[in-house]
Structure 1
Amino acid sequence: MVDISKRRFFKRNAVDETIVRLPWIARPSIFTNQCTRCNKCLDACETQIITIQDGGFPTVDFSLDECTFCYQCAAVCPEPIFNLESELPWEATVSINQQCLAFKNVECRSCSEMCETSAIRFQIEIGKVAQPIIDTNECTGCGGCVSVCPTSAIIVTNTRAVNQLTP
């Protein structure tokens, strides 16, 4: 008889391409093949948002703070994983789900107050509190809005991967 609880060992390890791992990663699709999990990036991160998740690989956790794009994680990495600092750090943006207080007609603008690029604005609507609007062209994906959201309604995703997954 076959122990079906061990079937997972025969599956390919699927990498979630929508995860925002670290800024300036040159090829996110093969990041898990190149990263040796040395954890030097954790110590180098000035806002301490890099955590270990998902198979022991470093990932940013925006519930802790935002990315300041200091490039320290890339600078200390001994592997050829990162692009140059002069390049775009990542193709990430935020989305706001239905947990948003404004969608429930409760006044809250904490996300827009933290957004340095003013990518999150609030538009006045008749009969409702002002509703959030995201300008994806202005959003850097820094995650500064995530930790201040009282309902955890804001998610940062890798937009390049999301666009590739969408038919």
Structure 2
Amino acid sequence: MADDAIDRGRRGFLRGRPSADPAPIHPPWSRPDYFTGLCTRCGACAEACPEAILRPGDGGYPEVDFTRGECSFCGACADACPEPIFDRNAAPWSLRASVAPSCLAVQRVVCRSCQDACPEGAIRFQPAPGGAAHARIDDEACTGCGACVAACPSGAVTLTHQTGSPAHAA
């Protein structure tokens, strides 16, 4: 069933879009190797999500939209799913925050929205020469909850899949 994965390059080509889009972020604890093969796109996980951050994505598969808020790792999505897609014994996911150069603090505008929103305290600002402070992400503390993404007024904070990152319990 792993062969049923979506060919994003082909899909992007046929839609006239570049294929450089990042991989979608599916609900926490979902098993990426089986996700597209087992997900029936019923929407039960999205309906159960108290944070309302799950929405139908490409092909109707549920994707996390962190611009709507953060994941509280409550597990309601996994509990609502009728298929064996979720593995609650594993880390929820391997997402880590990163900050783009469009960050207001880099542009010398005082902003600490992402730091204030981070429940884990994984974002700190370090002063830099010239008075601009730069966000630093503590990868060990970052759970990938997405609170910083929703809080960023310039859209400079993104979450990306990391390989070989430490596992985090919810």
Interval containing the TM-score (normalised by the shorter chain): 0.7 to 0.9
SS at 2:66 equivalent: coil
Identity, % of aligned pairs?
Answer: 44
Question: Any conservation in 2 of the 1:121–1:134 contact (CA below 8 Å)?
Answer: yes
- Tell me which of 26, 51, 57 is aligned to 1:53: 57
Residue identity in the other structure for 1:131? H
Q: Distance in 2 between matches of 1:123 and 1:18?
A: 30
Q: Write the deviation string for residues 87-127 of structure 1: whole angstroms up to 9, x where unpaired.
A: 31111111111110111111110000011111110011231
Q: Distance in 1 between matches of 2:106 and 2:121?
A: 19
Structure 1: unaligned runs, 5 residues or longer: 1-11, 163-167
User: 1:110-149 maps to which residues of 2 (within 5 A)?
Assistant: 110-149=113-152
Q: Distance in 1 between matches of 2:24 and 2:139?
A: 17
* CA shift for structure 1 position 17: 7.5
Aligned length: 149
SS at 1:47 equivalent: coil
Which residue does 1:21 correspond to in 2?
26
Q: Write the deviation string for residues 51-78 of structure 1: whole angstroms up to 9, x where unpaired.
A: 0111110000000000000000000101
CA RMSD, aligned part only? 2.0
- Tell me which of 154, 159, 169 is aligned to 1:156: 159
Normalised to the residue count of structure 2, the TM-score between the two structures is: 0.81
Q: Distance in 1 between matches of 2:40 and 2:137?
A: 36
Q: Write the deviation string for residues 99-157 of structure 1: whole angstroms up to 9, x where unpaired.
A: 10111111110000011111110011231222100011110000001111111011112
SS at 1:136 equivalent: coil
Question: Any conservation in 1 of the 2:6–2:36 contact (CA below 8 Å)?
Answer: no
Larger Rg: 1
Residue identity in the other structure for 2:153? P
Question: Any conservation in 2 of the 1:19–1:157 contact (CA below 8 Å)?
Answer: no
Structure 2: unaligned runs, 5 residues or longer: 9-20, 166-170
Normalised to the residue count of structure 1, the TM-score between the two structures is: 0.83
Question: Any conservation in 1 of the 2:44–2:81 contact (CA below 8 Å)?
Answer: yes
Question: Any conservation in 1 of the 2:34–2:85 contact (CA below 8 Å)?
Answer: no
State the structure with bigger RCO (CA 8 A, min sep 6), 1 or 2.
1
Q: Distance in 2 between matches of 1:146 and 1:113?
A: 12
- Tell me which of 59, 75, 82 is aligned to 2:86: 82
